[in-house]
A = this chain, B = another copy of it.
Amino acid sequence: MANKLPLHILKIGGAVVDDAPLLQEALQAFAAIPHAKILVHGGGQAANDMAKKLGITPVMLNGRRVTDQATLEVVTMVYAGWLNKSIVAQLQALDCDSLGLSGADLNVIRASLRPPKPVDYGFAGDIQAVNTERMQWLLENKVSPVCCAITHNKEGQLLNTNADTITASLATAMSKHYDVSIYYCFTKPGVMVDPDKPETIIPEINTESYRELKAAGIIKDGMLPKLENAFDALQKGVDQVIIGSVAAIHPESGIAKTVIRR
């Protein structure tokens, strides 16, 4: 553990991607990270907007999007095309030598088509393997990968995979070689006792305090799966998971955020 180099994985959510000045701020903070780093970006509203413009009606099942052929084309165009290349171009302008990647590029993330039973989600990909050798090779050569939420099955089929899942899979796979921190970047400052009061932010959560916060009903609803995923990543070898705002990405910012450790 002591001999591993740090690796920062920054996940920027849709609300950040959709807000040009906030995205620019996040990219500046990312470019300034002095260690090996990977950016994972969500899609935001752009894919929905594009689908709407093209007359594609989103099909949802159990709150999840069904990826039919037309939707797969749209998300690949928007995530891997416009958003990914716009982010890479902005990072290059900040002298951050970035490289946009789908899972197909260098075969970095191989997934399998989610079984069509019990629910057929169409071209949805469940991650099977992260190519840690290629990722390590990029990082050692001062390249900062920018990953979008598109994977492939190594048989020619592109697949749609959730960006949070990609972040967690990359992080746990890379934790064999690096001391990995995940930073989930939102528009909110972190996990708060009262979601309407930023001053009630919880600066640190561990396994024990998580149990207490859950029992007291302070962590609930949408926060539960996020925290469960965070503890799952920590259990699988990730060093720390941070949930915070764009402004707090810089470790020296002094701005409150929630740090989650085992």
Contacts and interface: CB of A to CB of B under 8 A. Distances in A.
Copies of this chain in its oligomeric complex: 2
Contacts of A85: 76, 80-81, 102, 104-105, 150, 158
A187 interface: no
Contact of A156 (B53, B81, B93, B102): B93
A93 B137 contact: no
A90 interface: yes
Interface string A76-97: 1111111011101110110001
- The A contact surface, by secondary structure, is helix
A104 B73 CA distance: 22
B152 A89 contact: yes
Given A97-B106, A99-B106, A106-B143, A81 B89 contact: no
Interface in A95-148: 97-100, 102, 104-107, 137, 141, 143
A154 interface: yes
Interface of A: 50, 53-54, 73, 76-82, 84-86, 88-90, 92-93, 97-100, 102, 104-107, 137, 141, 143, 150, 152, 154-158
